[in-house]
Amino acid sequence: MRAIIPTQSVTLKKLLSSGSYSAKLFTNDLGDCKDLPVNFEFTEPNFIGYSSKLLDPNLWVLSSLTSDYSQCDYNKSLIWGNTDASPTEFISGYFVADDMDNVLWFGKFDNPVIVEQNQNVLVDIRVYLNNYDYPENTIAIVVKGEIIKPQNVNIVVENIKWGGVDYPNILMDLMQNDWIPNQNVLCLGIDNTINICHGSPLSFDMSVTATDCIEHVENIIIEDPGNRIIEINLQSI
């Protein structure tokens, strides 16, 4: 299955912070449609056991970040089960909507799924978010913990240099959140006038703190252009 992203897709910041998004199934035959009119209405199934599923914002995992899109996976399979023989339905895919029932994106199954009595539909959600006017080089800092998710994460980036020369203003907070991590993720963009290479690398000092965790301090050196994900695993005190 693949997710089809409408032209006006949800932003990464909204995805990671919203607790009001729900996943639903649909029975419409969409043919080869890759986008839908704004006023299109999905038809949901009627089998006993079906209902929409509220998505937990803490379960989104940033798995890729490129100049064109961000890729996020929902770290939990969604399962719908038909507990009664009637009706048997053909499920064409799923969609995600906000609390106003606006469709944010939808995913079509490769082939419709027939749901009979005591049968299930399992969906793994992956979404690609459009990035417009995006920097050519990006850095996503993802903070994790040994056992549990770190709380009250703070990330400080300082001593920013390009080619060994101070450039304090070449990094920007792409999520426009005052450099505050969102769901323990901080996405940074590098000014497009900066040409990163081995001879003139980008470097900065980074410190990461969180409640009941040992502070992580690291000097980051980036010698290749492109998009990078830096994972920090904090150790518990």
Sequence ranges of the domains in the chain = 2-130, 137-234
Which of 13, 1, 2 minimizes the C-alpha distance to 187?
A: 13
DSSP assignment of 21-79: -EEEEE----TT-SS--TT--PPPP--TT---EEPPGGGEEEEEE-SSEEEEEESS-EE
CA distance 28 to 109: 11
Task: Report the predicted TM-score, pTM, of the whole model to 2 decimal places.
Answer: 0.68
**Which CATH number does 137-234 carry?**
2.60.40
Task: Output the tens digit of pLDDT for each of the chain's 237 residues.
Answer: 344 444 445 677 788 788 889 999 999 887 766 666 656 788 999 888 899 999 999 898 887 776 667 788 899 999 998 887 666 788 999 999 888 888 888 888 888 888 887 888 899 998 877 665 668 889 999 999 988 899 999 999 999 999 889 999 999 998 888 899 998 999 999 988 888 888 889 999 999 999 999 999 999 999 999 889 999 999 998
